[in-house]
Amino acid sequence: MIAKHDVLVVGAGCAGMRAAIEAHDAGADVAMISKLHPTRSHSGAAEGGINAALGNAAEDSPEIHAFDTVKGSDYLGDQDSIEIFCAEAPGDIIQLEHWGAVFSRRADGKLAQRPFGAAGSPRTVYAADITGHVLIQVLWEQVCKREITVYEEFFAWQLVVNDGRCQGVICWDLLRGGLKTLGGKTIVMATGGAGRQYRATTNAYACTGDGMAMALHAGLPLKDMEFMQFHPTTLYPSGVLITEGCRGEGGYLINKDGERFMKRYAPNALELASRDVVSRSEQTEIDEGRGVNGSVFLDLRHLGAERILERLPGSRELAMTFAGVDPIYDPIPVRPGAHYHMGGIATDSDGATELDGLYAAGECACVSIHGANRLGGNSLMETITFGRRAGRAAAEWALSHTTVEVPESAERDAERELRELLSREEGERPWKLREELGQSMLENFGVFRREEGMARQIEIIQGLRERYRNVYVEDKGHVFNSDLTQAIELGNMLDTALCMVTAGLARKESRGAHSRPYDYPNRDDENFLHHSITRWRDGEVELSTAPVRMTKWEPQERKY
């Protein structure tokens, strides 16, 4: 064990940095572990905005925000956590602004707010269309100001569980090589999502579900893993995200005939229906032959050059760079792509898991405020609000406990496992298995899902897991061995993908992002208004259920 801290935060995106800042301010000795430099975390790729009921653009309140979130979740969100989230969001926005977040403003000086999908009021605060970039820079300034220790380019691999508590993290040191163990009285997981399980995704190459897999392998439950959100507007053919802010500013979706097709699917909300509805509508247009090269078009031309240059400069630059299209003059080719995982490590409203000393926040966690479908703008807000809450809770627990003990046997077992992997002289290369996983997940567990496709996908994943036993790491070196870390990431993705598809096959209904139009087209509250819980037992998935926590909103039909 090379060092001990009161609170170890694994991951240094918005959730991780906000947790570390709060834990430090509560008086704890804090350190962050990150496999990337913190400002390269995927949070920086978030574009459109962050939700809070400030009421600057129209009448709004935390209660209206909460109802929109519950309805958007297709009634699978835990309503007590949603109410906490919506009540505390405005104060968190004001704090970010005081720290120096350069949000876009109205002419009267108030923070500007734009409409986002399925929102009852324009409540999305934004910084042009680079909101995540702005937030991650502001949080990094606060981390540097507090001189919080950062173990940069440390690849977190295994949690240390000792005496019924989580007491450390075993990492691979990318910069210097070798396994390094860090002890912590409490650990906060903030490692982001797992979108790289899919070939077409908005997610960075680092989004491989490491934190979820580490918790799963440590015996913890993952919650609602079947719900992977597909964002309606990812750039064809690269999959780069084109923000929902484009539709919030008034952009249209059109098919190859120039028809604004959302009139057929959501006659009231149109392009600002919830993401699951818009993604399904687009996929239907494509499947029925009204797309072009597997895509439809996002049309911004009617907004005019001035508005595009002021409000959506990043989206224009992305379209020009990656698709050769200037949206001032031509529509942008877009299609649904894997974007955000609603499921994750099961936590309470303070980020606490069922294992003493372990907390989680951000996309790797499932509180659950998103339920079966996340509203755009809620995820950035979740990283801040629940990152703060998890950091505070982890610090308070750590400051009331005094010991950290990492048994030598845990380090020896990890060393042996690593030697076994590196000593293999032949076998399959990780990239090949990763490619097969990404393509098959897209085909069998995408926007629309079929019984036979999901059953086939479980067989494919099991076959890939069997082949993974003989995966071959060609680079035997210690310094910057990305070949090794990518092999470990592949194992994490295979195990979490198995959880996802197993839970999806068991959910015989259509709810939010889990759409089964061919066999179970309707939502079934009588039999499936519950969370899916997956655990790891002897190398396989064990599935159970947990009740949804209701406060004041009974399920009703969603209409857009």
In angstroms, the CA 543 to CA 531 distance is 11
CA dihedral 5, 7, 11, 16 (to 10 degrees): -140
Determine the 3-state secondary structure of 456 from DSSP: helix
Q: What is the pLDDT of residues 437-451, one digit of tens each?
A: 999 999 999 999 999
Looking at residue 336, its pLDDT comes to 95
In angstroms, the CA 391 to CA 91 distance is 17
Contact 470, 427 (CB under 8 A): yes
Specify if 17 maps to a domain.
Answer: yes
In angstroms, the CA 81 to CA 79 distance is 5
Q: What is the pLDDT of residues 147-182, one digit of tens each?
A: 999 999 999 999 999 999 999 999 999 999 999 999
Specify if 556 maps to a domain.
Answer: no
Q: What would the mean pLDDT of 201-228 be, rounded to a whole number?
A: 96
Does 491 lie in the same domain as 384?
A: no
Does 44 lie in the same domain as 146?
A: yes
pLDDT confidence band for 480 (50 / 70 / 90): very high
Amino acid (1-letter code) at residue 45: A
In angstroms, the CA 151 to CA 143 distance is 13
Catalytic annotation present for 275: yes
Amino acid (1-letter code) at residue 429: R
Q: Identify the CATH number of the domain in which residue 266 sits.
A: 3.90.700.10
In angstroms, the CA 365 to CA 359 distance is 9
pLDDT(435) > 80 = yes
In angstroms, the CA 526 to CA 387 distance is 34
Amino acid (1-letter code) at residue 108: D
Q: What would the mean pLDDT of 38-61 be, rounded to a whole number?
A: 95
Question: Tokens standing for 229?
Answer: 């959100």
Contact 341, 363 (CB under 8 A): yes
Nearest to 245 by CA among 36, 430, 104: 104
pLDDT confidence band for 1 (50 / 70 / 90): confident
Specify if 171 maps to a domain.
Answer: yes
Q: What is the pLDDT of residues 299-342, one digit of tens each?
A: 999 999 999 999 999 999 999 999 999 999 999 999 999 999 99
pTM of the predicted model, to two decimals?
0.95
Q: What is the pLDDT of residues 366-377, one digit of tens each?
A: 999 999 999 999
511: left (phi over 0), alpha (psi -120 to 50) or beta: beta
Does 346 lie in the same domain as 328?
A: no
In angstroms, the CA 340 to CA 419 distance is 34
Nearest to 120 by CA among 184, 71, 183: 71
Determine the 3-state secondary structure of 299 from DSSP: strand
In angstroms, the CA 186 to CA 358 distance is 6
Looking at residue 559, its pLDDT comes to 73
Does 282 lie in the same domain as 192?
A: no
Distance of CA 6 to the CA centre of its chain: 26
Looking at residue 401, its pLDDT comes to 82
pLDDT confidence band for 209 (50 / 70 / 90): very high
Alpha-carbon distance values, 387 to 42, 94, 103, 124 (Å): 15, 16, 20, 19
Q: Which of 291, 308, 337 is the last residue of a domain?
A: 337
pLDDT(560) > 80 = no
Does 345 lie in the same domain as 320?
A: no
Does 245 lie in the same domain as 266?
A: yes
Q: What would the mean pLDDT of 2-11 be, rounded to a whole number?
A: 96
pLDDT confidence band for 42 (50 / 70 / 90): very high
Domain residues for 310?
232-337
Looking at residue 558, its pLDDT comes to 74
508: left (phi over 0), alpha (psi -120 to 50) or beta: beta
Q: Which of 291, 315, 337 is the last residue of a domain?
A: 337
pLDDT(557) > 90 = no
Instruction: Fill in the DSSP letter of residue 154.
Output: E
Q: Identify the CATH number of the domain in which residue 435 sits.
A: 1.20.58.100
Does 299 lie in the same domain as 424?
A: no
Question: Tokens standing for 305?
Answer: 């050059």
Q: What would the mean pLDDT of 542-552 be, rounded to a whole number?
A: 97
In angstroms, the CA 362 to CA 46 distance is 13
Specify if 194 maps to a domain.
Answer: yes
Angle at 24 between CA 20 and CA 30, to 5 degrees: 65
Does 329 lie in the same domain as 345?
A: no
pLDDT(538) > 80 = yes
Q: Give bridge partners of residue 3 from the DSSP assignment.
A: 182
Q: Taking the CA atoms of the chain, what radius of gyration do you get in angstroms? A: 22
Specify if 106 maps to a domain.
Answer: no
Specify if 120 maps to a domain.
Answer: no
Determine the 3-state secondary structure of 123 from DSSP: coil
The active-site residue out of 196, 199, 247, 275 is 275
Does 419 lie in the same domain as 467?
A: yes
pLDDT(249) > 80 = yes
Specify if 10 maps to a domain.
Answer: yes
Q: Identify the CATH number of the domain in which residue 44 sits.
A: 3.50.50.60
Q: Considering the chain, what is the average pLDDT of its residues?
A: 95
Largest CA distance in the chain: 67
Q: Which of 399, 417, 441 is the last residue of a domain?
A: 399
Looking at residue 117, its pLDDT comes to 86
Q: According to the 3-state scheme, what is the secondary structure of 310-358?
A: HHCHHHHHHHHHHHCCCCCCCCEEEEEEEEEECCEEECCCCCECCCECE
Does 331 lie in the same domain as 264?
A: yes
Q: What is the pLDDT of residues 486-531, one digit of tens each?
A: 999 999 999 999 999 999 999 999 999 999 999 999 999 999 999 9
pLDDT confidence band for 48 (50 / 70 / 90): confident
Specify if 193 maps to a domain.
Answer: yes
Q: Please, what is the angle between helix 14-25 and helix 378-399, to 10°?
A: 30
Does 211 lie in the same domain as 319?
A: no
Looking at residue 195, its pLDDT comes to 95
Total length of the chain: 560
Q: How many domains does the chain have?
A: 3
pLDDT(351) > 80 = yes
Looking at residue 14, its pLDDT comes to 97
pLDDT(402) > 90 = no
Does 20 lie in the same domain as 141?
A: yes
Nearest to 18 by CA among 290, 559, 391: 391
